[in-house]
Amino acid sequence: MNLPPAITTYLTAHNARDVDRAITSYAPDATVIDDGRSHHGTDEIREWLAGAASEYTYTTELISVTRLGEDRYDVVQHLEGDFPGGVVDLHYRFTLRGSAIVRLVIEP
């Protein structure tokens, strides 16, 4: 399945740990929820991305993509690395507004 450019850009940049490029995929008022914590607006999301990029070393593999609606996608990625547990499949649940990510929820 072809993903919208905002999601493809984000995933590619995030996997490359390119915070500056990843942040361009987000709307200014976007929210990211990861590990039970919310990050609102591009400043907080940038901080979260920078922390996520440096905290652990891991590899990702795209497992599946499901379109949940006109503007919603569930992307499942398999991660392996030096984080607690070492292996996990995570759902990246995106909501778009126009050509930007307005909400991302990351959870098992």
pLDDT tens-digit map of 64-93: 999 999 999 999 999 999 988 999 999 999
Task: Give the C-alpha separation, 14 to 52, whole Å.
Answer: 9
Classify 36 as helix, strand or coil: coil
Average model confidence (pLDDT) across the chain: 94
pLDDT at 55 over 80: no
What is the predicted pLDDT for the residue at 2?
A: 86
Task: Give the C-alpha separation, 70 to 63, whole Å.
Answer: 21
What is the predicted pLDDT for the residue at 77?
A: 96
Tell me which of 53 and 35 has the higher pLDDT: 35
Q: Which amino acid is at 106?
A: I
The 10s digit of each residue's pLDDT in 15-31 is 898 999 999 999 999 99
Q: Where are the domains of the chain?
A: 5-107
Q: 5-107 maps to which CATH number? A: 3.10.450.50
Cβ contacts of residue 103 below 8 Å, gap of 6+?
A: 30, 31, 32, 33, 93, 94, 95
Q: What is the pTM of this model?
A: 0.93
What is the predicted pLDDT for the residue at 53?
A: 61
Q: Over the range 13-52, which residues count as b (16 or more CB within 10 Å of their CB) and which as e?
A: bbeeeebeebbebbbeebbbebeeeebeebeebbebbeeb
pLDDT, average across residues 45-53 = 87
